[in-house]
Chain A
């Protein structure tokens, strides 16, 4: 050391030991004390949290980057496809999948009694041929050769393959509940559309924007209706949103109605509900949601879809209230409302269009008239109609989905809002999933398949992943629904 030198740390000897002794030797802390501020400034420091590597200088430039070697994912995994995983998959042989159902054996209870020589009544079973249409789910992925050559956290192609598989499963899971071929002919019909089309009042209960009974009355009643004469089915599973599972089953259902026994209390997760027609498993499904907001109000990437290349032109919307006998607007619901609309095309949504405020009284029907926007390359096939809270604002985040409707011929599409569908609520589906019953199945023309595509003039590896299938509900009498369920923990309340 030269005179006046003020060390900035323990010096290191030629053998690598700390100066002042061998390993275990004492190191004086006085060596770390700086008395000359100029020397202090010359100290090699770790920098000031710079993140732009090009600007790294001093000690920051010497530091190795601290990168977590695994990819941290917040995405849907296989366990989230609850309905898909429970569905029995069978193979269809053609895009038009035919099946025959028998709905009656003939006669009625007591129809066979006869006198000794009386004419014997002629009767027979009821048979009908049904048709299901296979729909085509496809996604394209592409990874450049440069990307494949790089050292990456994960194998990019493998990762993209998994993502593509999950994208297909996500579409199947969502469409199994909410697909509607009248709104988008490329979709298959899901449980909601099928139950509404069948429109059997015994198989639909309406919670009217309230919660479920604490004694599982809805589940028990619908299970009994499905088991009754003329249907002869068994409800095995309930599918509901996470919020309904938490607030309406786990935190509400009387333990006396829960399966599993043991020391169950209100708040214990509910596995199933006991009914006279068997135990019904309660499944929560992340793809059933109350909070279906307009795309403009959702987090990325949704808003960009409304302005992207696949977006149709925005329509306009107006609402006019008038008394109607079919109305389910009661005095509790009377107030000011806004309506909003998005046009739906094959792969996009239009920007959101808002109506003026409409005063709605008890017994009113609001005739919502959507005037179609000019057609561009992305022709609208349907519309998503949203409604605000009672006396709410017209901010996009204050709307929730009321219905998806097919586009009518002509310049306008009219939707009559009788308050039959309550925004901000979710349906609870009850399904016969017994494998032997074959009530609800996934019919596949093509199982999930990777189909290589060919790069024409690019250094990349493109491919498509395909799944051709549809949800076959052969026994429409074996599915039921409680609609308009508002979980007690909902932060957005429609009224």
Chain B
């Protein structure tokens, strides 16, 4: 089979030492000199991307056609092997398809969420409106309007009620002024107490850290103590053995 470098797309060399035989979905064949030669690449952006990276070179037109033939055979073999092995998701087309599908799915989910949120807001607003005093007040206003129209003016009872409410209002105003004065005093006291509280918190925080450190040390000491106890037991045991093995002095004296 005869071949030329750029039939069906451009070819590139990859000179990088750890280059694989499948790079970004493009198959490469390993040449005898260690360089890797690509299959024809139809996507000009991919060719531009590869040749912009140090270690990639465009294949010259003058390349020996036998080299291309050998490379194509090796690439075909690799493709067949890959089909048999089944490497899903590694080709650029399948990756693009997966991505497009996922984007569509994400977009659908987002739109559904938005719709659900808007519906929920509308329902909440309707519920809120029904729960307020508005419907009741509207009814009241309608009743009063009807009464006024029918009676030809405000009833005497209503004027009396207004006077009473004014006096109540004055009393509340006075009470409010007194409360404000008392609030100023309380606020000053509160600020003083907050200052004291902040100092106390600092002291507590320092104590907390000391306690944590001491807990850690105590735990270490407990472990050391246990080890020491174990050593003491061992020593006691050894002492007992040694005592048994030593002849009694009294019997030597008797001799």
Return the CB mask of B170-210 against A: 1 if under 8 Å, else 0: 00000000000000000000000000001001101110110
Smallest beta-carbon distance B49→chain A, Å = 5
Establish whether residues B206 and A154, one from each chain, have CB atoms under 8 Å apart when the complex forms: no
Establish whether residues B99 and A153, one from each chain, have CB atoms under 8 Å apart when the complex forms: no
Q: Nearest CB to that of A435 among chain B residues?
A: B205
Establish whether residues B18 and A393, one from each chain, have CB atoms under 8 Å apart when the complex forms: yes
* Interface residue from A153, A357, A410 paired with B230 (Cβ < 8 Å): A153
Establish whether residues A161 and B219, one from each chain, have CB atoms under 8 Å apart when the complex forms: yes
Residue B115 interfacial (CB < 8 Å): no
Do A359 and B53 contact each other (CB < 8 Å), given the known contacts A320-B99, A321-B24? yes
Residue B159 interfacial (CB < 8 Å): no
Interface size class of A (residues with CB under 8 A): 35 or more
Complex Cα distance, B217 from A169, in Å, reads 14
* Interface residue from A392, A409, A410, A436 paired with B18 (Cβ < 8 Å): A392
User: 8 Å CB contacts to B: which residues of A268-319?
Assistant: 316, 318
Among A85-93, A108-116, A376-384, A471-479, the stretch that binds chain B is A85-93
Smallest beta-carbon distance B61→chain A, Å = 23
Q: Nearest CB to that of B216 among chain A residues?
A: A78
Complex Cα distance, B103 from A367, in Å, reads 12
User: 8 Å CB contacts to B: which residues of A50-87?
Assistant: 69-71, 77-78, 85
Establish whether residues A162 and B219, one from each chain, have CB atoms under 8 Å apart when the complex forms: yes
Establish whether residues A412 and B98, one from each chain, have CB atoms under 8 Å apart when the complex forms: yes
Q: Nearest CB to that of A364 among chain B residues?
A: B49
Residues in A neighbouring B219, C-beta threshold 8 A: 78, 161-162, 165
Residues in B neighbouring A369, C-beta threshold 8 A: 89, 95, 98-99, 102
Establish whether residues B90 and A159, one from each chain, have CB atoms under 8 Å apart when the complex forms: no
* Interface residue from A316, A331, A391 paired with B55 (Cβ < 8 Å): A391
Among B2-10, B140-148, B221-229, the stretch that binds chain A is B221-229
Complex Cα distance, B24 from A359, in Å, reads 6
Residue A12 interfacial (CB < 8 Å): no
Residue B31 interfacial (CB < 8 Å): no
Establish whether residues B223 and A159, one from each chain, have CB atoms under 8 Å apart when the complex forms: yes
Complex Cα distance, B98 from A153, in Å, reads 59
Establish whether residues B222 and A158, one from each chain, have CB atoms under 8 Å apart when the complex forms: yes
Smallest beta-carbon distance B221→chain A, Å = 11
* Interface residue from A158, A336, A448 paired with B223 (Cβ < 8 Å): A158
Establish whether residues A89 and B209, one from each chain, have CB atoms under 8 Å apart when the complex forms: yes
Residue B17 interfacial (CB < 8 Å): yes
Establish whether residues B53 and A435, one from each chain, have CB atoms under 8 Å apart when the complex forms: no
* Interface residue from A88, A153, A335, A392 paired with B53 (Cβ < 8 Å): A335
Smallest beta-carbon distance A290→chain B, Å = 21
Smallest beta-carbon distance A416→chain B, Å = 11
Do A90 and B208 contact each other (CB < 8 Å), given the known contacts A369-B102, A391-B17, A391-B18? yes
- Determine which residue in A69, A90, A152, A159 has the highest number of CB atoms from chain B within 10 A of its CB, and name it: A69
Residues in A neighbouring B109, C-beta threshold 8 A: 409-410
User: 8 Å CB contacts to B: which residues of A377-423?
Assistant: 391-394, 408-412, 414
Residues in A neighbouring B105, C-beta threshold 8 A: 410
Interface size class of B (residues with CB under 8 A): 35 or more
Residue B212 interfacial (CB < 8 Å): yes
Residues in B neighbouring A356, C-beta threshold 8 A: 20, 22-25, 87, 90
Residues in B neighbouring A408, C-beta threshold 8 A: 106
Q: What number of A-B contacts does a CB cutoff of 8 Å give?
A: 145
Residues in A neighbouring B216, C-beta threshold 8 A: 78, 165
Residue A98 interfacial (CB < 8 Å): no
Smallest beta-carbon distance A196→chain B, Å = 22
Residue A186 interfacial (CB < 8 Å): no
Complex Cα distance, B26 from A321, in Å, reads 13
Residues in A neighbouring B24, C-beta threshold 8 A: 320-321, 356-359
Residues in B neighbouring A321, C-beta threshold 8 A: 24, 49
Return the CB mask of A144-164 against B: 1 if under 8 Å, else 0: 000000011111001101100
Complex Cα distance, B107 from A409, in Å, reads 12
Q: Nearest CB to that of B219 among chain A residues?
A: A162
Q: Nearest CB to that of A85 among chain B residues?
A: B213
Residue A193 interfacial (CB < 8 Å): no
Establish whether residues B16 and A335, one from each chain, have CB atoms under 8 Å apart when the complex forms: yes
Smallest beta-carbon distance A30→chain B, Å = 31
Complex Cα distance, B25 from A320, in Å, reads 9
Establish whether residues B102 and A410, one from each chain, have CB atoms under 8 Å apart when the complex forms: yes
Residue B152 interfacial (CB < 8 Å): no
Residues in A neighbouring B49, C-beta threshold 8 A: 321, 359, 361, 364
Return the CB mask of B113-136 against A: 1 if under 8 Å, else 0: 000000000000000000000000
Establish whether residues B205 and A88, one from each chain, have CB atoms under 8 Å apart when the complex forms: yes
Residue A371 interfacial (CB < 8 Å): yes
Residue A334 interfacial (CB < 8 Å): yes
Establish whether residues B230 and A152, one from each chain, have CB atoms under 8 Å apart when the complex forms: yes
Complex Cα distance, B211 from A89, in Å, reads 10
Complex Cα distance, B94 from A318, in Å, reads 10
Residue B154 interfacial (CB < 8 Å): no
Complex Cα distance, B65 from A259, in Å, reads 70
Smallest beta-carbon distance B209→chain A, Å = 6
Residues in A neighbouring B213, C-beta threshold 8 A: 78, 85
Complex Cα distance, B231 from A69, in Å, reads 7
Q: Nearest CB to that of B87 among chain A residues?
A: A356
Complex Cα distance, B156 from A246, in Å, reads 92
Complex Cα distance, B56 from A318, in Å, reads 22
Establish whether residues A436 and B90, one from each chain, have CB atoms under 8 Å apart when the complex forms: no
Complex Cα distance, B98 from A448, in Å, reads 47
Q: Nearest CB to that of A409 among chain B residues?
A: B109
Complex Cα distance, B209 from A318, in Å, reads 49
Residues in B neighbouring A391, C-beta threshold 8 A: 16-19, 55
* Interface residue from B23, B55, B202, B208 paired with A357 (Cβ < 8 Å): B23
Residue B69 interfacial (CB < 8 Å): no
Complex Cα distance, B201 from A251, in Å, reads 40
- Determine which residue in A152, A318, A362, A412 has the highest number of CB atoms from chain B within 10 A of its CB, and name it: A318
Return 26 A-B CB contacts under 8 Å, by A number: A69-B231, A85-B213, A88-B205, A152-B230, A154-B230, A161-B219, A162-B222, A334-B52, A335-B55, A336-B53, A358-B23, A359-B23, A360-B53, A361-B49, A361-B52, A367-B99, A369-B98, A369-B102, A391-B16, A409-B109, A410-B105, A410-B106, A412-B98, A412-B102, A435-B206, A436-B198
Known: A335-B55, A412-B99. 17 other contacts (CB 8 A): A70-B227, A77-B220, A78-B217, A85-B213, A153-B227, A158-B222, A162-B220, A162-B223, A320-B95, A334-B53, A336-B18, A356-B25, A357-B23, A361-B53, A408-B106, A410-B105, A410-B109
Interface residues of A (CB under 8 A from B): 69-71, 77-78, 85, 88-90, 151-155, 158-159, 161-162, 165, 316, 318, 320-321, 331, 334-336, 355-362, 364, 367, 369, 371, 391-394, 408-412, 414, 435-436, 448
